[in-house]
A and B are shown apart, each in its own frame.
Chain A
Amino acid sequence: MSRHVLQAVGLVRRYGGLTAVDHVDLVAPPGMITGLIGPNGAGKSTLFSLLTGVEQPDEGKVVLGSTDITSMRPDIRSRRGLVQTFQVPSLFPTLTVADNLLVGAENRRRDYAGGLLGLSAQGRSRISHSAERVLERLGLAPKGPVTQIVEEVLDSLGLSDVRDTIAGTLPTGALRLVEFARALCARPDILLLDEPASGLDSEETAKLSQLLRRTAADGVGIVIVDHDVDLVFSVVDQVYAMVGGRVVASGDPETVRNDPTVRSVYLAQAPLAAAGHSGEAR
């Protein structure tokens, strides 16, 4: 299955007199990690919500593959392969970790009415479903594709031990990981990550960047917005730097790091942002 490219074309978003996002173009290809940096108020978060569909642009469009998805709701975008995670982990606190992932894995189909009539997920009759349950109990059941994805992701992220833990009882670091796992279960073409490293300690952040590299190597495109400039520059293939709603520099990390505008913005902000942007202030 070929994966889609995410493109933003001439996106504009205004709040009253303020233009939060000002004619931004962005291309996030599959298999690559795209970083989005900028000081507070640069329009990163607004751009992010335009991409996810939480907000609608005043001008411009968002294209996934060859489809214009500008007017689509977030859940439709997600079913088409554009999946996001949140700055504050957005797990379903009353479900187990495995069930959280299942919700993600089951997203491609919408025929909920079948469930209402008591039909199983695959639309089989109740009788064959019960038969399957008996087989399962004997350990003979072939696992459905959905469950298989969940188990694979649980395994590969080392989450198997907590599969039956209620998600609401996990600590923040684990929550981030489970949310990431849930997004992976939705089989994304493009993953949009909003500050995935916030609340993580340095070791967890290091693990995260490994995980991001691995995921990208599997062919998933990743767009990452984060305050941790060290993380962004260490992991991305390309960077977009935003200031005042515009993209002021883009390209590979080295180019953007040496861009005079970027340098001046971060140097000017250095005392204020010393904590958040230590990598740049150095």
Chain B
Amino acid sequence: MTSIDLALAGVSLGAIAALSGIGLLVTYRTNGVLNLAQGGIATLVAYVFREMVVEWNLPIWLAAVISLAVVSPGIGLLLERLVFRPLARRRASAAESLVASLGVLVLSLGITAGIWGLGSRSDAPSIFPNSSVRLFGDTRIGVDALAELVMVIVFAGVIGVIAARTAFGRQIRAVVDDRQLAELSGVPADKVAAAGWAAGTTMAGLTGILLAPRFQLTPYGLTLLVLETFAVVVAARLSSMPVAVLTALGIAILQSELKQFTLHGDAGQILTVLQSNLFIVALLVLLLAVPKLRELGSGDSGATASFSSRGAPPSGRVSGVRLRRDYLGKLGGGALLLAPLTFAPSDLRSAFMVPALALIFLSMVIVTGYSGQLSLGAAGFAGLGALLSLKLANGDLFGLPALPGIASMFVGALFVAPIGLITGYPAIRRRGLTLALTTFAVGAVVSRFVFEQPTFATGLYLDPLTLFGWELSEKAFYVFELICLGIGLLVVRNLHHGRLGRALLALRDHSEGAAAVGVDVRNLKLLAFTVSSVVAGLGGALLVHSSYSFSADDFAPLQSLLWFTAVVVFGADSAAGAIVAAAFMVTIDVLAPAGSSTLAIGILALALGWMPGGLASAVRGGLRLLAQYLADSFVDPNQRAPRPVPVRISAVGHLPATTGITGITGIPGIGSTLGAARAGHYARWPLSGNRYVLPPGAPRLTPFGASLVTMIEQYAAAQTAVARQRQATDSDGAPRPAVPQPTGPAPTGAGAGAHPAEGGRA
């Protein structure tokens, strides 16, 4: 094949990637949400389309119309109405929207896998006939490529015209700038947002239907393919549609052109991988090269405070009751974790996954929950840990001598540290969406270039673990896993306590503020990423031993997304939540058909909308309410201490919500009228005209409080004067005078409090 033929062969894929990119941009520019669920929706629609054509024998055109004109936009409208509109209404942070879209991805994957299973299908129908048109000479172009190219041009053109030339385009920009403000100016914000979602998901559906016949149709495979097209929108810096289209075509054509070269040796192998994975490499390279995405709004999707809002354990003295309760909780949890030791061997083997998975989840608690960085690459670290420890055990790594199984796990996990450190570097300057995509790309590249390569991932054998020459029984292995989990928990505990814990939380809560008082933001981020990668690596090594084999699928990039969602659902800042999440997923997968845990996590993720801190925080809140209720039922209502109302920490700008403040700040003069509202300052009833004297040593009134007191005194004085006058006139029999008005303008400011008698003249 000549270069031109190869280029034309690449056009089709490029056009599909461009369509996907257009869909992503439309949703992003209308809603400010980078729809990570694009891949999941594409896959779902592709399966529906195939079902209609292959199983129901509908004509292709009808199936296409139903899929693209009814199903796809319907999904978009549903998502907008049920998931993203509530988030936009309460001005959820970009991070929350990101997690919600992850939830949708996981949910759509779960639905697809639940209905059609995880197996692959190669009979996906194509909407275009498999013929070609002669361009010139012997050069021919496929009808599909031509049609797709036309679609790209038409869609890009139409959307470009709408955005630039019409009133609707202006409305879109207004809604994205400030939805509430736009609504106040009469812009139908919900309609604009819904239109954006419908258009975006229709593009997603189109992408899925077009991609499916070119590859095998599998839930995970197709989803990942669509996720790879994120390279296109990153190149467009989330804004420029022409750049997105050109990049899509460029990458696809380049990838196609690579096919004419063959190299030998290691370079040849890399080339082979590149020939089918240029998009994912481009995604990583672009993310590292593009200085800053044009994120909408404040670009605050780095602020994870919205779903990890727990502060440090109090540095002061902890009450004995609380300590005892903590120990009780820990004992109970420990007992539950030991329970599998009494299980039948097959169930025990299923339970092997729990501590391994829990360790991986803990690694995400470290990075996301405690230090506030979005990281979607955990599967990469876990897989590397697994691979390196196996290689070490086999004596196959850099000529190092074969290590005994247990030592190889720890050493292998430590070897992941440098890779975690390198991944941490982009995090120094990047945050939010960019960081999330970068870590995802790292995981995907590692998966494609290492886990799926025969050089690295074949010929591995798993020896039974031994300790001092004794082979570990299954029970002993489980205990060993628990010990590893214990080490992980200890690390997490140390990261959450003392100076280090405070510094990390400071970094999570407000990184500029932390830097301003000298917290070493850079090294702390690197530390968090490094420690997290080691913990994930250890978890991966255990995971391999608990499933008795190394499979690239176990550490596929999509696993990271699923795991991340699970961690957030169960409380990103809760170590206990991580363990519960692991137990939950393993239990569901054992009891129900494969993919059910994905479905369950997806459903729970959508519930995050009204449960911002995840399940852990909901449980914590519930316990607190219960304790409060119990306490209240034993205490005289008049003796109750003022109760601080829980305040939702706003992620935007870290302005605390001022709604829940009780009058117990205790700072004299600070906090508007609070100073005046303290005990002893309440106006007495019945009101008397006498000057109310502040007790000595009492906090001074704020200006507003002072003027308030003055006004009350005026009123009281006026009332007494009226009463007195009435008495006088009644006895005189003279006509009643009008109600006296306070003379002069109502005095304001602090000075007014000094002359309270003035207003009382009548």
Contacts and interface: CB of A to CB of B under 8 A. Distances in A.
Interface string B504-533: 011001101111111111111001000100
B654 A93 contact: yes
B397 interface: no
Nearest to B653: A88
Given A75-B516, A204-B670, 20 more contacts: A73-B521, A75-B520, A90-B654, A92-B510, A93-B510, A93-B649, A94-B310, A94-B312, A94-B649, A99-B312, A100-B506, A102-B502, A106-B503, A112-B500, A169-B647, A172-B658, A174-B671, A183-B516, A186-B517, A201-B702
B669 interface: yes
A197 interface: no
A90 B513 CA distance: 5
A250 interface: no
A115 to B, nearest CB: 3
A175 B649 CA distance: 14
Given A95-B506, A116-B500, A90 B512 contact: yes
Nearest to A105: B517
B514 A92 contact: yes
B644 interface: yes
Contacts of A121: 498-499
A207 interface: yes
B518, B521, B656 — which one has the most chain A CB atoms within 10 A of its CB?
Answer: B518
A202 B653 CA distance: 25
Contact of B509 (A52, A92, A186): A92
A235 to B, nearest CB: 18
Given A90-B510, A95-B312, A121-B498, A171 B674 contact: yes
A219 to B, nearest CB: 19
A201 B702 CA distance: 9
Given A92-B513, A104-B517, A115 B499 contact: yes
A159 B61 CA distance: 73
B665 A116 contact: no
A137 interface: yes
A224 interface: no
Interface stretch (A9-17, A36-44, A160-168, A251-259): A160-168
B317 interface: yes
A103 B311 contact: no
A76 to B, nearest CB: 8
Given A90-B510, A92-B514, A118-B494, A203 B669 contact: yes
Interface string A95-133: 110111011101110101101111011000000000000
7 closest A-B pairs by beta carbon, nearest first, are A107-B518, A115-B500, A161-B666, A90-B513, A94-B311, A78-B518, A92-B509
B321 interface: no
Given A91-B654, A207-B669, A103 B520 contact: no
A79 interface: yes
Contacts of A84: 516
A48 to B, nearest CB: 12
Interface of A: 52, 54, 73-76, 78-79, 83-86, 88, 90-96, 98-100, 102-104, 106-108, 110, 112-113, 115-118, 120-121, 136-137, 158-159, 161-162, 164-175, 177, 179, 182-183, 185-186, 201-204, 207
Contacts of A161: 665-667
24 contacts: A73-B522, A75-B515, A75-B518, A83-B517, A83-B518, A90-B516, A91-B509, A92-B509, A92-B513, A94-B311, A99-B502, A102-B499, A106-B502, A108-B518, A112-B523, A118-B493, A120-B498, A168-B657, A171-B671, A171-B674, A175-B656, A177-B667, A179-B513, A201-B702
Nearest to B667: A174
B661 interface: yes
Nearest to A53: B515
Query: How big is chain B's contact interface, by range?
Result: 35 or more
Contacts of B674: 171
Nearest to B315: A99
A201 B703 contact: yes
Contact of B665 (A75, A95, A170): A170
Nearest to A163: B316
A79 B514 CA distance: 11
Contacts of A179: 513
Contacts of B657: 168
Interface of B: 305, 309-312, 314-317, 490-491, 493-495, 497-503, 505-506, 509-510, 512-524, 527, 531, 644, 647, 649, 653-658, 660-661, 665-672, 674, 700, 702-704, 749-750
B505 A162 contact: no
Contacts of A113: 527
A79 B512 contact: no
Given A75-B518, A75-B521, A110-B523, A118 B490 contact: yes
Contact of A204 (B527, B658, B669): B669
A203 B703 contact: yes
B311 A95 contact: yes
A121 B521 CA distance: 18
B106 to A, nearest CB: 27
Nearest to A52: B516
B661 A170 contact: yes
A157 to B, nearest CB: 9
* Chain A contact surface mostly: helix
A40 to B, nearest CB: 20
Contact of A158 (B316, B513, B655, B667): B667
Contacts of A116: 491, 494-495, 500, 527, 531
Contact of A86 (B314, B317, B498, B513): B513
Contacts of B518: 75-76, 78-79, 83, 104, 107-108, 186
A186 B517 CA distance: 6
**B523, B527, B669 pick with most chain A CB within 10 angstroms:** B669
A88 B655 CA distance: 8
Contacts of B497: 115
Contacts of B531: 116
A95 B501 CA distance: 11
Contacts of A185: 517
Contacts of B668: 158
Contacts of A172: 658
Contacts of A99: 311-312, 314-315, 502
Nearest to A165: B665
Nearest to A114: B500
Contact of B656 (A83, A93, A107, A182): A93
Given A110-B523, A117-B494, A162 B666 contact: yes
Contacts of B660: 169
Given A106-B499, A112-B500, A116-B527, A78 B315 contact: no
B432 to A, nearest CB: 18
Contacts of B495: 115-116
Contacts of B654: 88, 90-91, 93
Contacts of B505: 92, 94-95
A132 to B, nearest CB: 13
B514 A103 contact: yes
Contacts of B506: 92, 95, 100, 103
A78 B517 CA distance: 6
A229 to B, nearest CB: 20
Contacts of B311: 92, 94-96, 99, 166
Contacts of B520: 75, 110, 112
Contacts of A93: 305, 509-510, 649, 654, 656
Most buried by B among A90, A166, A186: A90
A107 B656 CA distance: 24
A182 B656 CA distance: 17
Given A95-B502, A95-B509, A120-B498, A75 B658 contact: no
A103 B517 contact: yes
A79 B503 CA distance: 14
Contacts of A86: 512-513, 516
A183 B671 CA distance: 20
Contact of B661 (A91, A95, A100, A169): A169
